[in-house]
Structure 1
Amino acid sequence: MSLRRRLATVVAGVAALAVALSGCLYAQIPPVPPTDGASLAPQTDGVPAELLPYYGQTLDWQPCGTGLDCTTVTVPRDYADPSVGDLDLAVVRHRATSGKPIGSLLTNPGGPGAAGVSLMKQALSILVDDKLTQDYDVIGFDPRGVGESTAVTCYEPAQLDAFLYDIPPGARGSDERKAALDQRAADFANACQDHSDGILPYITTENSARDMDVLRAVLGDAKLNYLGFSYGTFLGATYAGLFPERVDRMVLDGGIDPSVSGSDTSLQQAVGFEQSLRSFMADCLKTKDCPFAGTVDDAMADVASLLARVDARPITAADGRRLGGDTLMTAITAALYSEESWPYLRSALTDVSNGRADVAFQLADFYNGRVGDHYDGNTMEAFIAYNCMDYPDQGTDAAVAELQQKLDAAAPVIAPYWSGSGGDPCKTWPAPPTGKREQITAPGSPPILVVGTTGDPATPYEGAQSLASQLSQGVLITNVGEGHLGYNKGNACVTDAVDAYLIDGTVPDDGHRCG
């Protein structure tokens, strides 16, 4: 596992898990006749002449589900040189049920690599509540490189299975395993280059943020209203940094600190998941079906032993796949996103303790977007593509060794399966990273709400604190609780504050605490 492999962890897996395990679908409403994206002159002030054709597109909305319209928006591959060529963005709209929308509310569910179009089609209620669907035209889109947009393409399903699940030869940490992982990573990077039609150098968060400004304009909005989750907070903050004067109401839930290095982000996430695993264990030990006993420390030691045992003697699932330590850790990680998934983690760990791997693979598959024998979109491929371009390379042997020492001390159960030598596709990525890790202040923007959850493992609370403090108009909402994200997750204090801001413009006090 490399310094960049587990960065900005994927919220798309959580959305898929919630849909699959709860069967939650959005309430259907009658379709509303679409409009045609009319005069956009007020929204193109300050746009370079060579970009005006993109900002002046007329959208062709077509029904694509009950209450939904879909369209395609064209954007340049390279904003600095539009002559390089174009990309297509898939966009979906749920019209305001009131018939009198405040405007458009652009959303991003996270990732990088989460597909906003399919998520809105499957479960709009995961993104927004009824108050927002009443007053806004809610907009989902697949960012460049993702899903139904011009997409990063690397592997067929069987090849992606091998990349994500196969157990490499040799003992963990051995030269044999490192060589095998390095070769696997290089093969993946080469496949992405071969099958992605030259788009990889342009799959960056900055370009995606610029795409959002095109979307703002072609939707007919003078300023951007935005609700972003997890990685979507980095995307939203990047937009605010580029276009602070074009921000209207912006909420960033699960804030990511844009100034933190890749290695420090990896360390913070590992510590977050270690702490969440301890919280799970404290709860598990109170139940009758917990496979562990004793204290939380005893249970953590037992999980570490279970991971090591599976690593040494993989378990074969009903479909023939072999469960090793890395895939079991992916399963654990997937379930720690939400307390609602803890019963599935108890079941998975009980089964693995008894030599069965099927529930663990179910959790890992949800995390990786695997459905049956195929993948629902290209989440993992796009995830790697964005991280390779967004994060400056820190993958020297010395940096890896230093990170591993810190991980071993701060997250001893998670550490052996979180980061290590070998297996970084970014080392042979066909384009060098262009992203920078630096503070975003967005001077001149209106208030920007940042939501942080104290027990969030994927986007630890300190990231939200830091992001809110560095934004010139950042306002922090603290959600006291476990799991990833805060809005629309059952805490009425958080949800009501966000709704009041997005609908009425009511700004809560900085430091507003819910719990």
Structure 2
Amino acid sequence: MEAIIAVRYFRTLIAIPGTIRALRSHIAGRVGGLQIIGPGHAIAASLCAASLLSGCGGDGVDQQADPLAAYKSQQIAWAPCNAEQTHGIPALTVSALGADLSCAQVKVPMDYAHPSSGDISIGAILFNPGGPGGDGYQFGALKASLARLVNPASGGYRGLYDMSRKFDFVGFSPRGVGRSTQLSCSLSAPLVHVDWLPTNLSQQNVDRALHNDKLYADACRNVPLAPFINTDSTARDMDVLRAALGDAKLNYIGYSYGTLLGAWYASLFPQQTGRILLDSSVDYDMPLPLQSQAVAQQTLYDDTISLYALTKVSQVALPNTLAGIRTLFTDAPDWSRDYLAARLYSVMPYHDAIDDTIIVMAAAYAITQASALHPTPEAYATALSSHIYFPNDPESNEEAQQVALGSITDYSEAVTGVYAPPQAPTDWVNPTVRCSDAPVSSNPAYWVSRASVIAREAPIAHSSDIDNPCIYWGPVTVTRPALSVAAKSAPPVLMLQSENDMLTPLAGAQTTLSALPSASMILVNGEYSHGLFPYGTACVDSNVAHYFLTGAMPPRNTVCAGYVLPGVVANASAASIKRAFGDSFTDPEQAQDIIERTRELLRTHG
């Protein structure tokens, strides 16, 4: 039984040399020297927004001369998982997998250039009956459990079920996160308040943002572990894991940033590359700090979200014109824009979070109205508490009210002019990978100029161009392997992409596709969700499953119809379809819970 490795993107999860903690489920078969008692599964490595890493070699090395031989030949000692190892995984999922869920550790070197310098740990979950996933850890368990609930007589999710009968799904926390050796950085001074940059690019405000950038860069740059938190090391970790599992080839599913990691691996180890799905792809050759999402976010909001919201104005307190809805966030007071942008960004990229998106929109409208006359903070809070957001939906009304009330601290600070220092960041791996993988300009003026242009084209979006510690990161030592190596020597890869994905826009995915002449892309028309597989339609899932099970590729440019929101016109080339869910699973309620938890992991780290 072979394994599949799955990875995610847009925030950062990277494996670190040392030990890989793993979980597996059983279903008959053997993986290398491991006794497996269950259907096969995949290796899910959850990583986030990071750029490609370099690296060369790794192919055709004589085992006796291979400095990694001890790592690749290590025996994985499976054992029942304890409560700490299954923490965060729904109890129902753990119970359903039962004895098929077990845990282990795999050692990897901290520094691949000097393997004898020491080990570190990588947290991992390996299953037999499952799917690819999130942190790599929980995500895999959730997919494994979902595959078990599929009704094989139904259509949509049958592809996931079929894959689970052949493959082991293996998930691991990439270096620096989760169960892996953690990257921890410390600020040398408090951060300072920065006004909403897109509307305040004054020198004083920009200088405050750059001050924070330098603090952020200095906090991590000189941490001993930081030089080894990069995509190149993670790709090499995956090859050690492949060898330790006893697999001749690496089968892999990568989401978002994970598409960079998958393409990186195929370029670094083309002879060890098996079947690879790149779901929601970034532009391989463009450093991540340069891959702006702002214009795609503005387009999605104007052309899709706003049209759908207009169909809801009889049910929720929103402007009753398309123009009013489109300017809802740009009409909000500047002091609220950062808060609202963060809330919107966390839900807007995902089709199944559309109700949450409308809730944020309702809160934004209330914030604008309640603050219009500049009341005292107490009066402002009272106005938000008495505002009617959803007249006939108490639950949504409560949720929107809570989102709006979350702005009280920002309002109070804006009224008094006294700002508390921003909280220190907790996500250190994301910037470390982004800044370590590829060189970018160290000239602040370059980034300010970019931010100014983007603010005009996409006023709804926050300016990540100036909130960018890479400006001060220093020299980059990682060398990105040429994608042409994968194009020439690795087996064909399969890509899956939403037409209107705002986090990994279609144009970047198509650039990657053009560099891989033997690859194929399944384009889901009318869809905007980030991270698709399994999608729940035969057109998408059967093509993916057929590729993994047989190696057969769909046509290079395959188009599948997507789920289109009511009130939004789908492209003429692909009709809107309705999601058929109930008969796809033996327990629809449990399946829905698993899918929602999986999506939440993508939202948290994507």
1:383-413 deviation digits (Å, cap 9, x = unpaired):
1111111131224234213322431343232
| C-alpha displacement of 1:280 | 0.7
| C-alpha displacement of 1:299 | 1.8
Q: Secondary structure at the match of 1:303?
A: coil
User: Is this contact kept in 2: 1:240–1:445, CA < 8 A?
Assistant: yes
User: Is this contact kept in 1: 2:306–2:325, CA < 8 A?
Assistant: yes
1:169-214 deviation digits (Å, cap 9, x = unpaired):
69832344334333333333444357x5x11011111111111111
User: Is this contact kept in 2: 1:154–1:381, CA < 8 A?
Assistant: yes
Which moved further from structure 2: 328-337 or 82-91? 82-91
User: Is this contact kept in 2: 1:291–1:349, CA < 8 A?
Assistant: no
2:91: which partner in 1? none
Q: How does 1:304-453 map to 2 (within 5 A)?
A: 304-306=330-332, 309=333, 311-312=334-335, 324-355=336-367, 356=384, 358-359=402-403, 380-414=427-461, 417-421=462-466, 423-429=467-473, 432=476, 434-436=478-480, 439-442=483-486, 443-453=488-498
Which moved further from structure 2: 424-433 or 343-352? 424-433
1:137-176 deviation digits (Å, cap 9, x = unpaired):
10001111121111212369xx99x97xx85369832344
Q: 1:439 to 1:361 in 2, by over 3 A?
A: farther
1:265: which partner in 2? 291
User: Is this contact kept in 2: 1:70–1:90, CA < 8 A?
Assistant: no
2:176: which partner in 1? 145
Q: 1:432 to 1:11 in 2, by over 3 A?
A: closer
| C-alpha displacement of 1:435 | 4.9
1:457-481 deviation digits (Å, cap 9, x = unpaired):
1111122222122124211111111
Counterpart amino acid of 2:11? Answer: V
1:404-441 deviation digits (Å, cap 9, x = unpaired):
24313432322xx22354x4333444774535496445
Q: 1:170 to 1:486 in 2, by over 3 A?
A: closer
User: Is this contact kept in 1: 2:12–2:430, CA < 8 A?
Assistant: no
- Ranges in structure 1 where 5+ consecutive residues have no aligned partner: 1-7, 13-28, 98-104, 110-114, 313-323, 364-377
Q: 2:508 aligns with which of 457, 463, 467?
A: 463
Hey, what's the Cα distance between the residues in 2 that align with 1:402 and 1:286?
A: 38
Q: How does 1:200-219 map to 2 (within 5 A)?
A: 200-219=226-245
Q: 1:283 to 1:441 in 2, by over 3 A?
A: farther
1:508 equivalenced with 2:554 (yes/no): yes
TM-score, reference length from structure 1? 0.75
Counterpart amino acid of 1:9? Answer: F
Hey, what's the Cα distance between the residues in 1 that align with 2:254 and 2:167?
A: 15
1:38: which partner in 2? 33
Q: How does 1:78-117 map to 2 (within 5 A)?
A: 78-96=111-129, 107=132, 109=134, 115-117=135-137
1:300: which partner in 2? 326
Hey, what's the Cα distance between the residues in 2 that align with 1:361 and 1:257?
A: 38
Counterpart amino acid of 2:138? Answer: S
Hey, what's the Cα distance between the residues in 1 that align with 2:477 and 2:276?
A: 28
Hey, what's the Cα distance between the residues in 1 that align with 2:127 and 2:354?
A: 32
Q: 1:404 to 1:482 in 2, by over 3 A?
A: same
- Ranges in structure 2 where 5+ consecutive residues have no aligned partner: 1-8, 14-23, 35-58, 82-93, 148-158, 368-383, 385-400, 408-424, 562-606
User: Is this contact kept in 2: 1:260–1:437, CA < 8 A?
Assistant: no
Q: Secondary structure at the match of 1:152?
A: coil
User: Is this contact kept in 1: 2:543–2:554, CA < 8 A?
Assistant: yes
1:282 equivalenced with 2:307 (yes/no): yes
CA RMSD of the aligned region, Å?
Answer: 3.5
| C-alpha displacement of 1:216 | 0.7
Q: 1:122 to 1:429 in 2, by over 3 A?
A: farther
Q: Secondary structure at the match of 2:102?
A: strand
1:252 equivalenced with 2:274 (yes/no): no
1:186: which partner in 2? 214
2:202: which partner in 1? 174
Hey, what's the Cα distance between the residues in 1 that align with 2:103 and 2:516?
A: 34
Hey, what's the Cα distance between the residues in 1 that align with 2:553 and 2:196?
A: 56
| C-alpha displacement of 1:91 | 1.7
TM-score, reference length from structure 2? 0.65
Q: Secondary structure at the match of 2:137?
A: helix
Hey, what's the Cα distance between the residues in 1 that align with 2:268 and 2:545?
A: 25
Hey, what's the Cα distance between the residues in 2 that align with 1:397 and 1:50?
A: 42
Q: Secondary structure at the match of 2:552?
A: coil
| C-alpha displacement of 1:11 | 8.6
Hey, what's the Cα distance between the residues in 2 that align with 1:384 and 1:178?
A: 19
User: Is this contact kept in 2: 1:261–1:437, CA < 8 A?
Assistant: no
Q: 2:140 aligns with which of 120, 123, 138?
A: 120
Q: 1:144 to 1:469 in 2, by over 3 A?
A: same
Q: Secondary structure at the match of 2:113?
A: coil
Counterpart amino acid of 2:470? Answer: C
2:539: which partner in 1? 493
1:50-79 deviation digits (Å, cap 9, x = unpaired):
111111111111222433222221112222
1:199 equivalenced with 2:225 (yes/no): yes
1:10: which partner in 2? 11
Q: 1:360 to 1:512 in 2, by over 3 A?
A: farther
Which moved further from structure 2: 185-194 or 444-453? 185-194
| C-alpha displacement of 1:46 | 4.1
Greater Rg by CA:
2
| C-alpha displacement of 1:226 | 0.8
